[in-house]
Each structure stands twice: as C-alpha cells, then as structure tokens.
Amino acid sequence: MRCSERTRILVSKATGVVVLLAGFMLAARLCFGAAVDSSRSPNIFKPESTPADSIFNLSLFVLTITGLIFLVVFSLIVYSIVKYRGREGGDHSEPPQVYGSNQVELAWTVIPVLIVLVLFLATARVIQSVQDAPEPSTAMRVTAVGHQFWWEFRYPTLGIVTANELHVPVSDPSHPTPTFLTLLSADTDHSFWVPRLAGKTDLIPNHPNRMWIDPQQPGVYLGQCAQYCGTQHAKMLLRVYVEPRVAFDRWIRDQRQVAVATDAASEGRVAFETGPCLACHQVEGIAGNGQYGPNLTHLMSRDTIASGAALNTTENLRRWIRNPDSIKPGAKMPALGLSARQIEAVTAYLETLR
C-alpha cells in the first residue's frame, strides 16, 4: 500500500515537471520564431517600431533573468526531491536545523534586492525613453479619438478626418518621420494598442494622453482597444496602414477631395440627406455636421466597416444599414427601419463615396 502511494506521488510530481517544461518551451517558441499570421491577429513578437522594439527587448531581458531564477529554483527542488526522497529502511528523523546564519540571511536578502533593482532600472530607462522622446519638426501629428465602439482619426495640419484605419508614412531611419498621436476619449475609457508598433496607452475622458510610433516597414498593422469599454469592446478593432511617402501623399490628395455622387445614386443621396443619417454622420459637401458616428466622406476607400468587424463589401454594407446588430451586436447605430428600396438606394449612394 505504501509503495503504490509513493508511486502515485512520484507520477504526480513527474507530470507537474513535464507540464512546467512544456509551458516554458511553448513560451520560448512563441518568442523565438513561432509562425504567427499577422493578418489574423496582432503579433507582439515582431516589433516594427522603436517603442515596440524597446518594450520587446526589455521583455526578453526580464524573461532571461526570471528564466534563470526559475532554472536555479527548479534544479534545487529536483535535487532535493531526488536526494532526500523517502527510502525503505532510511532514517526518517528530522534533519539538523540551522538558525541564525548571517551569511544565508544576507544572501537571500541582498540577491533578490539586487535583482529587483536591476529590473526596476531597466524598466525605468525604457519608460523614460518612450515617454519623453522629443518630437522632431518632421513628425506627423494625428489625434485619435476613441468612441463606443470605433476610432476617429484627425490630421489637424492636413485637414483630414477618417475612421478606424490610420494611415501613416514609413519612417526611414535616414529621414525619420515618426507619428505622434494625441489620444482623446469621447465617452469612456479606451486603450490604443497596436502591438507591433507601440505599447498600450489609455484614452481617458477629459485627460489628453500621447504616444508615438515610427514604423520602418510598409504594411498593415493590426490592433484594437485593450480596455473594456462596453458591449462591443472586443470588436473595436483598428488598422494602421504604413505606406511609402509617395503612396501616403497620394492618399492625402484623395482624402482631401470632396465626394461626388453620380446621377444614378441621386435617390440614395436624397434619402441620406433627408433621413436621420446626417444626425450622426458627416459627408463633406453635404449640409450636416454629425459627430456621433464616423465621417463617411471617403467610406469606400476603407477596407472594413464597423471598426473592422466586417469587410467593406456591398453585401456587408447593405446588412449594416438594414440591421447593424447582425454584424456587431450592441453597436450604437440603430436599425432605422428603412424599406428594401431605401436600403438599396442608400447603399448605392454610399458606394460612390470614394
């Protein structure tokens, strides 16, 4: 009976050891080369901007130190289990006790204090370099406003307002063009997080915040709100489009154009102008100054609708107008009860907003 009990204990301990090692190896694989599809989810292991790179290097430094501590402690535990395990006929008396050893007490006090001090100084250095970075004259300035549940992006020096998809130029190391963002909230707490470009930064009502990025590779970088902000927090997504300077300048020129509706979409424009749409949305060239919903002037230049919840296709746009909850349950946009003909007309009109 005693033998089977000991066998059960040893199997339990061995299982625990295997689980710990498997978890450690999985974490190492994720950090050092696991394939992650960046088109499907944000990727924290491939930084492409100075702030994100600084945070990633700090995390590796912390992981190295804590990993060494884990290995030392784990090795001592395994050594103790093996060397001092119970044996048949062994001496089961209490081992000699050691009290009042100044050397031992100093060791287990000074060493942890030094480790914590090193981690604190390394972290403070990274925080200072990210938070207090000087803003060069070549920097792009953008104001990001968090709404339930979408993102508004304003380019104050360019006169552009868009939603959910942030466009910025590549920051060439030889000619740095970082983007400095002023973060505001229109309602509740939000958090701006694009893992490959920077760390999380909160948007607090009546408390402007700031952050910066300097992406050095073109591409689309995914992020989202990282602070629970209500029913559709999980679908408050965002995309950052990093473009070469020529492509970014072309995007600026297109965004500055006033949307022009064709005669074929005139019925939809009338329905849009005379209905409740302008109470929340704005389209340049149409009388109305709705601020509650996204600016729709160049809606069809965006790849997604509903803050990334769906691709910007005709069918999804039609579904969104008919019943927003079918795409994004809990969205603030109500179902307007439009007739089938009105929905088709408004959809046709919105498809001209390029």
* pLDDT tens-digit series, residues 77-109: 999 888 877 777 667 777 777 777 788 888 889
**Residue 262 vs residue 269, higher pLDDT:** 269
Residue 37: pLDDT above 60?
no
User: In which region does residue 183 sit, left (phi positive, over 0), alpha (psi from -120 to 50) or beta (all else)?
Assistant: beta
CB 321 within 8 A of CB 338: yes
pLDDT at 25: 67
In 3D space, the residue among 255, 269, 218 whose CA is nearest the CA of residue 240 turns out to be: 218
Report for 92-96, 190-194, 279-283, 336-340: range of highest mean pLDDT: 190-194
Which of 97-101, 201-205, 311-315 comes out lowest in average pLDDT?
97-101
Residue 2's pLDDT band, with cuts at 50, 70 and 90, is: low
CB 155 within 8 A of CB 142: yes
In 3D space, the residue among 348, 349, 346 whose CA is nearest the CA of residue 275 turns out to be: 346
Segment (H or E) for 203 = strand 201-203
Distances in Å between the Cα of 306 and the Cα atoms of 28, 264, 352 are: 36, 26, 18
Rounded average pLDDT over 49-70: 94
pLDDT at 104: 80
Q: What is the torsional sign of CA 348, 351, 353, 354? A: negative
Amino acid at 281: H
Rounded average pLDDT over 142-169: 94
Dihedral pair phi/psi, residue 217, rounded to 5°:
-130, 130
Residue 120: pLDDT above 50?
yes
CB 336 within 8 A of CB 275: yes
pLDDT at 209: 94
pLDDT at 36: 43
CB 179 within 8 A of CB 172: no
Q: Which residues contact 196 (CB under 8 A, 6 or more apart)?
A: 38, 42, 43, 44, 46, 47, 48, 49, 52, 215, 221
Task: State the Cα angle at 351 between 284 and 187, rounded to 5°.
Answer: 55
pLDDT at 280: 84
Cα(38)–Cα(18) distance, rounded to whole angstroms?
Answer: 31
Q: What is the DSSP letter of 282?
A: B
**Residue 3 vs residue 256, higher pLDDT:** 256
pLDDT at 103: 83
Rounded average pLDDT over 189-211: 94
Residue 112: pLDDT above 80?
yes
Q: What is the DSSP letter of 72?
A: H
Rounded average pLDDT over 322-350: 87
Dihedral pair phi/psi, residue 80, rounded to 5°:
-65, -40
pTM across the whole model: 0.80
SS3 assignment, position 316? helix
Cα(298)–Cα(63) distance, rounded to whole angstroms?
Answer: 45
In 3D space, the residue among 54, 31, 51 whose CA is nearest the CA of residue 43 turns out to be: 31
**Residue 336 vs residue 204, higher pLDDT:** 204
**Lookup: tokens for 76:** 């001592």
**Lookup: tokens for 307:** 């803050």
**Residue 240 vs residue 103, higher pLDDT:** 240
pLDDT at 142: 96
Q: Which residues contact 182 (CB under 8 A, 6 or more apart)?
A: 141, 142, 143, 144, 208, 209, 210
State what percent of residues in the chain have pLDDT above 90: 47
Rounded average pLDDT over 67-84: 90
Q: What is the DSSP letter of 275?
A: S
Which of 2-6, 60-64, 110-114, 184-188 comes out lowest in average pLDDT?
2-6
pLDDT at 219: 92
In 3D space, the residue among 185, 186, 168, 189 whose CA is nearest the CA of residue 177 turns out to be: 168
